[in-house]
Amino acid sequence: MEAKRREFLGTAIGSLAVCGVARGEETPNGELVASPPVAMAPRSDGIEFGWSVTRLCRGWIELEDGSGVRRFARDGWGLVPQGDKVLRVRLDGLEPGTTYRYRAVTESMEGEKQRIESGWREFQTLDPSASSTRFVVWNDTHDFSDTLRELDRKTPAADFLVWNGDADQNKWREEAAIPSTLLSPGGTDFTAQRPLAFSWGNHDARGTYGFRVPDYIATPSGRPFYAFRSGPLAAVVLDTGEDKADDHPSFKGRVASEALRREQAEWLRKEVIKNPAFQDAPYRVVFCHIPLRWTDEETVYSFDHFSKRSRDLWHDVLVEWGVQVIVSGHTHRITKIDANDEFPYAQLIGGGPQLDLAAWIEGVADKKSLRLKVRKLTGETAAEMAFAPAR
Q: What is the DSSP code (8-state) at residue 157?
A: P
Average pLDDT, the chain: 91
**pLDDT of res. 30:** 61
Record the pTM. Answer: 0.91
pLDDT by residue (tens digit) across 146-162?
Answer: 999 999 999 999 999 99
**pLDDT of res. 17:** 36
Distance (Å, whole) CA 237 – CA 217: 14
Q: What is the DSSP code (8-state) at residue 53?
A: B
Domains of the chain, by residue range, sit at 2-124, 133-387
Q: Is 18 helix (H, G, I), strand (E, B) or coil?
A: helix
**pLDDT of res. 8:** 36
Residue 268 scores a pLDDT above 70 = yes
* 65 bridge partner residues: 68
pLDDT by residue (tens digit) across 312-358?
Answer: 999 999 999 999 999 999 999 999 999 999 999 999 999 999 999 99
**pLDDT of res. 391:** 66
**pLDDT of res. 366:** 98
The CATH architecture assigned to 133-387 reads 4-Layer Sandwich (3.60)
**Residues 6+ positions from 39 with CB-CB distance below 8 Å:** 47, 48, 49, 123, 191, 195, 196
Calculate what percentage of the chain has a pLDDT beyond 70.
Answer: 92
**pLDDT of res. 171:** 79
Single-letter amino acid code for the residue at 149: R
Per-residue confidence band for 11, with pLDDT thresholds at 50, 70 and 90: very low
**Residues 6+ positions from 42 with CB-CB distance below 8 Å:** 123, 125, 126, 159, 160, 195, 196, 197, 220, 228
The CATH architecture assigned to 2-124 reads Sandwich (2.60)
- State the SS3 of 319-374: HHHCCCEEEECCCCCCEEECCCCCCCCEEEECCCCCCCCCEEEEEEECCCCEEEEE
Q: What angle do CA 291, 255, 257 make, to 5 degrees?
A: 40
Distance (Å, whole) CA 245 – CA 256: 9
Residue 27 scores a pLDDT above 80 = no
**pLDDT of res. 76:** 85
Cα→Cα distances 60→86, 88, 91, 105, Å: 12, 8, 10, 5
- Ranges assigned E (strand) in 238-351: 283-287, 325-328, 335-337, 346-349
Distance (Å, whole) CA 160 – CA 17: 24
Specify the range with the lowest mean pLDDT, choosing from 61-75, 89-103, 121-135, 277-291.
61-75
pLDDT by residue (tens digit) across 188-217?
Answer: 999 999 999 999 999 999 999 999 999 999
**pLDDT of res. 75:** 85
Distance (Å, whole) CA 225 – CA 260: 10
**Residues 6+ positions from 122 with CB-CB distance below 8 Å:** 99, 100, 101, 102
Cα→Cα distances 123→159, 161, 191, 207, 273, Å: 9, 13, 9, 34, 29
- Cα-flanking dihedrals φ and ψ of residue 330, to 5°? 80, -45
Q: Do domains 2-124 and 133-387 have the same CATH topology?
A: no
Distance (Å, whole) CA 300 – CA 204: 24
**Residues 6+ positions from 157 with CB-CB distance below 8 Å:** 193, 194
Distance (Å, whole) CA 286 – CA 329: 12
Per-residue confidence band for 71, with pLDDT thresholds at 50, 70 and 90: very high
Contact 294, 104 (CB under 8 A): no
pLDDT by residue (tens digit) across 92-107?
Answer: 999 999 999 999 999 9
Q: What is the DSSP code (8-state) at residue 80?
A: -
Q: Of 13, 88, 27, 99, whose CA–CA distance to 57 is shortest?
A: 88
